[in-house]
Amino acid sequence: MAEMDQDLEYTVGAVVSALRDARRVLFVTGAGISADSGLPTYRGVSGLYDDGPTEDGVTIEDALSGEMLAEHPEITWRYIREIEEACRGAAPNAAHEIIAKLERLAEGRVLLTQNVDGLHRAAGSASPIEVHGNIDELRCTACAYRILVKDYAGLPPAPAVPRCPRCEAVLRPDVVLFGEMLPEAAIERLRVEVAQGFDLVVVIGTTAVFPYIQAPVLLAARGGRTTVEINPGDTMLSEIVTHRLRIGAADAMRRIWARYQPR
């Protein structure tokens, strides 16, 4: 056990040293970073449905698809509501807060998140690249109407489908549903940032199954840059990264901050 603790502290020290030396840093976060905020980790969009088909007899991927929203919006909204309710009231944890602090301490720190829970913004991250959108932003499927909501409690209860106050078309959360394209603005911003290069890439709480999540890590690794994975389990990146912290996100970031923070 003492040897494991020494290995952990050595790795934390190495990560802190890389963080201090790096001119440009990319943080990449997934559902695991929000686990300490009480949110379920996700398979696809939601681990709430790992046990099989939904009560509508379809997979969660089909229920939460762009095609289902267009044809049967009441089905899609049923599960969107359940996911939002699972997220409701959650607060940022130490991992979110420390990333926001690190962003404020120096320029050249970029945050890419797969999460739609909005906890990075709530923690103080000013401009995360939310590649899958944000569940608190609703938009009309027909016109330019948009609105930011605190929660869905004020929306019409199920099975009613929320509708645009301007044109009566269906409202939807501004998130990427299954089968839909990623938002062009987010992808373009990511492309521009990656083109500038990163000295350090830190991947936190994601299985990294999507190519656009893997790509910055692989590019940095091929260029001899430092890469870090924070995840208790093994992922597709585990054998590639320079350093691994096999602990939870909040624990890891507390350890890093304790060694890094200005004296």
Instruction: Give the phi and the psi of residue 203 in degrees, each rounded to 5.
Output: -105, 125
Instruction: Give the phi and the psi of residue 259 in degrees, each rounded to 5.
Output: -90, -25
Hey, is 163 helix, strand or coil? Answer: strand
Instruction: State the DSSP string of 164-179.
Output: -TTT-PBEEEEEPPBT
Identify the H or E element spanning 204: strand 200-204
In DSSP terms, 26 is beta-bridged to: 110, 201
Q: Sign of dihedral through CA atoms 109, 219, 112, 202?
A: negative
| Residue 34 · residue 206 · CB < 8 Å | no
In DSSP terms, 170 is beta-bridged to: 163
Strand 109-113 to strand 129-130: parallel, antiparallel, or no bridges (unpaired)?
A: parallel
Q: Which of 72, 96, 120, 132 is catalytic?
A: 132
Active site residue 132: yes
Please list the active-site residues.
132
